[in-house]
Amino acid sequence: MTAAENRILELRAELDQHNYRYHVLDEPSIPDAEYDRLFHELKALEAANPELITSDSPTQRVGSAALSAFTQVRHEVPMLSLGNAFEENDMREFDRRVTEGLDLPSGDLFGGGAEVEYSCEPKLDGLAVSLLYQDGVLVRGATRGDGTTGEDISVNVRTVRNIPLKLQGSGWPATLEVRGEVYMSKAGFERLNATQLEIGGKTFANPRNAAAGSLRQLDSKITASRPLEFCCYGLGQVSAEIADTHIGNLQQLKDWGMPVSRELKLAKGIDECLDYYRDIGERRNALAYEIDGVVFKVNSITSQRELGFRAREPRWAIAHKFPAMEELTELLDVEFQVGRTGAVTPVARLKPVKVAGVTVSNATLHNMDEVARLGLMIGDTVIIRRAGDVIPQVVQVVTERRPENARPVQIPECCPVCGSHVERTQLVKRSKGRETVSEGAVYRCVGRLACGAQLKQAIIHFVSRRAMDIEGLGEKSVEQLVDEGLVSSPADLYALSFEQIVDLEGFAELSSKNLLSAIADSKKPGLARFIYALGIPDVGEETAKVLARSLASLARVQQALPQVLTYLPDVGLEVAYEIHSFFEDAHNRKVIEELLKHGLEIQDQGELGAEFAASTTLGGMIDKLDIPSVGPGGAQKLADKFGSLEAIISADWLDMRQALPEKQANAVREFFAIEQNRQLALDAEKQLRDFGMHWQSEKKVVEGLPLAGQTWVLTGSLELISRDVAKDKLESLGAKVAGSVSAKTYCVVAGPGAGSKLVKANELGLKVLDEEAFVAFLAGHGITV
Ligand code: IVH
């Protein structure tokens, strides 16, 4: 066997395998760019050795066999593939072949050739679909499959909102097969992945996989819940001619209600095609959907016929590809970075690779859950994706290429910077009156300000513009101050002397004086600014403002119990615990004390914020205790009957029964029989009173609830949970439930048969949950149905 023969067999076997994974399993294991390279290597070898071409070579067919679970569909007119051009020269070559094929004058170096009219369209990155209309009614939808035989996905395509079930207007041919691409917008893809993560479902590497995985679902209800879109770009079988140009055909299809690309244009001659390619290339990141190139087609149908086909590609069309956004590279190592709050974050060190024109050698891995989700090992070949301006991401591991010496990624036991212990964070959830603690995705170095990395970041944050706003202290200077041992807490900044500063690199007499006066000027911060500057984990500017506005004194913020903090808008139990434990920590308390000793005077302290003071009633507070089977209504009844928490706790069963039905009465008594629950409730009540909260106010407690401020809409028939119960549950979480969808709607729950409301939600790009996802979402908030 010759070397060429050997390589051909090898390439065919590998491509067959990739084809199967890509087309049948929807789980490609290598990026398209790598596939294209292997494919072209095979094509070139076969071109040089034509006697070795066999009919089963991947170059001789378009795709792979259909999934057996769908019915097979034969395409009367085969669904073809396109030849690719990567360089300008490939395009000029294509134009030359077209011109010659049409017997037109081809011109010379100085031009003068005939200018062929081409249609220009974006090449959407989704999957090709055939839609068959009989007498204007959609009767069948099919995938491309291997180009001759596809899968019948009629039920699925019907769920794609912008596919007309019936054509508009009149005059369509009795048999009309429309072809186009089903795809997912970038926003739809992000939303879908976010929902999938929330409900613990499978996430997708890119919008193409998400579209393919969503459309080829045996359960079309799942397809219906996915934000799929369609764009038509051509015709298949037709019983009568429509127009004599490609653009004329698309224009007519558009008039019949078909979605057609807004970017469709006519170009006269190859130079205008190249202009189009450049223009779209520049706007690629800003488009709402992903494209992997542009497609040029000879506009005249007569000319298309004249040119015909070569193998399984039309001679009259070509795809001019853009640089791929995904590439393969090797994971050389995983290093761990320590952030301001001590979070120890894995970072992928990659063998440098060019992705869409930019060399990538690092990628964030977010956290250890992400490492586990990817199944990542050091030494793995990975797929890197750089979509637009987004930070490069590792989207998939090519497990087939895992070397024998691959090593698992291990979170270090000790901080790589200071050697302190690294701990896994805990997630606190409270449901049905019980707190459960589970393991979080984040690991943290416990060294805090004793850890050089955290100290540096903490000080950089402390002096930053939106925090204490100390001008003249850049990152480099902070590093020096820490490394020289001049600063070991933010409080030390206020003890710096002129002599200490002037000796630092980059400082002279004037800049040292300026820095000292900037430090002195920062001594009267507003409360919100100060809280933000402390760098409490998960407390950004907004939360700092809420804390300052509501509690209005550093002392109250420092003392606040977690259960009291959850009364504040947008403060969940986890953040409440972070805040509480930050101020419980002796070291942090000492830093604050020292800051105050250095003369820091915190402004805007005073009376409890009015909106907070009036934000609850006794009923509201009882409701917040989350007593099993007691909703807001029951809680209010208890408040009306007993008037104080103490009275409810000590009430006997008979009294309780006067307020509530038996089941709820029992639940209340069982709840308060637990010492910890009693204590938690009484402590919270006492602190709220100490803070100056008044009970008489009738305002409902919604601000502190997890869905406060959100409007939800329920649509379609709900089967797992009744509409009333769903509404009740949402309201108990603080949401408003509305009857119609608008831009102000936060989320739409769409059951089977959802119609115009779902369409509108998709149009507005709103978050949509199907019923299962909704039930899972409720479970995530501790509500089981
Ligand atoms: S025309 C005979 N136009 O690219 C021409 N294809 O590599 C057949 N695609 O299977 C295709 N956008 O999935 C055409 N505007 C466009 C396209 C497009 C995306 C996809 C389609 C096709 C593949 C060909």
pLDDT digits (tens, 9 = 90+) for 158-200: 888 888 888 888 999 999 999 999 999 999 999 999 999 888 8
Is residue 779 scored above 60 in pLDDT?
A: yes
Residue 387 scores a pLDDT above 80: no
106-115, 422-431, 510-519: lowest mean pLDDT where?
106-115
Could you give the CA distance from residue 641 to residue 778 in angstroms, rounded to a whole number?
Answer: 30
Neighbours of 133 (CB within 10 A): 23
- pLDDT digits 0-9 by tens, 326-348: 999 999 999 999 998 899 999 99
- Which CATH entry fits the domain spanning 83-321: 3.30.1340.10, 3.30.470.30, 3.30.70.1520, 3.40.50.300? 3.30.470.30
Q: DSSP assignment, residue 60?
A: G
Could you tell me which CATH class the domain 711-780 is placed in?
alpha beta
Phi, psi at residue 782, to the nearest 5°? 80, 15
* CATH of 530-691 given 1.10.150.20, 3.90.1150.150, 1.10.287.610, 3.40.50.300: 1.10.150.20
Between CA 591 and CA 757 the distance in angstroms is: 54
Atom from ligand 1 closest to the CA of residue 126 = 13
pLDDT of residue 117: 97
Residue 456: active-site member: no
pLDDT score of 688: 86
Q: Are the folds of 448-522 and 711-780 the same?
A: no
The ligand 1 site (C-beta within 6 Å) comprises: 80-82, 121, 123-124, 128, 144, 181, 233-234, 295, 314, 317, 319
> pLDDT over 70 for what percent of the chain?
94
Q: CB–CB of 774/750 below 8 Å?
A: no
pLDDT for 432: 64
Write the pLDDT tens digit of every residue in 548-602. 988 999 999 999 999 899 888 778 888 999 999 999 988 899 999 999 999 999 9
Nearest-CA residue for atom 12 of ligand 1: 123
- Architecture, CATH, for domain 3-61: Orthogonal Bundle (1.10)
Return the higher-pLDDT residue of 304 and 111: 304
Is pLDDT larger for residue 744 or for residue 320?
320
Binding residues for Zn(2+) are 415, 418, 451
**Section 624-643 average pLDDT:** 87
Instruction: Kindly give the number of the ligand 1 atom that is closest to the alpha carbon of 128.
Output: 13
pLDDT tier for residue 57 given thresholds of 50, 70 and 90: confident
What's the pLDDT at 63? 31
Alpha helices (runs of H) in 122-228, residue ranges in sequence order: 154-157, 186-198, 207-215, 220-224
**What is the chain's mean pLDDT, rounded?**
88
Q: Are 748 and 757 in contact (CB under 8 A)?
A: yes
Give the chain's count of helices (H) and strands (E): 31, 26
Residue 19: pLDDT band with limits 50, 70, 90: low
Catalytic residue among 123, 624, 729, 760: 123
Residue 697: pLDDT over 60: no
Q: How far is the C-alpha of 95 from the C-alpha of 88, rounded, in Å?
A: 11
Amino acid at residue number 201: G
What are the sequence ranges of the domains in the chain? 3-61, 83-321, 448-522, 530-691, 711-780
The pLDDT of residue 696 is above 50: no
DSSP letters, 598-636, are TT----S--SPPHHHHTS--HHHHHHHT--TT--HHHHH
CATH architecture of 448-522: Orthogonal Bundle (1.10)
Q: What's the rounded mean pLDDT across residues 343-368?
A: 93
Distances (CA, A) of 342 to 425, 428, 535: 11, 19, 11
pLDDT digits (tens, 9 = 90+) for 290-325: 999 999 999 999 999 999 998 889 999 999 999 888
Collapsed DSSP state (helix, strand, coil) of residue 267: strand
**CA distances in angstroms from 18 to 41, 292, 385, listed in the order given:** 15, 19, 19
The owner of tokens 């081809």 is 106
Q: What is the pTM of this model?
A: 0.67
- CA 435, 440, 442, 443 dihedral sign is positive
Evaluate if residue 395 carries a pLDDT over 80.
yes
pLDDT reading at 403 higher than 90:
yes
Question: Tell me, what's the pLDDT at 699?
Answer: 36
Highest mean pLDDT among 17-26, 408-417, 732-741: 408-417
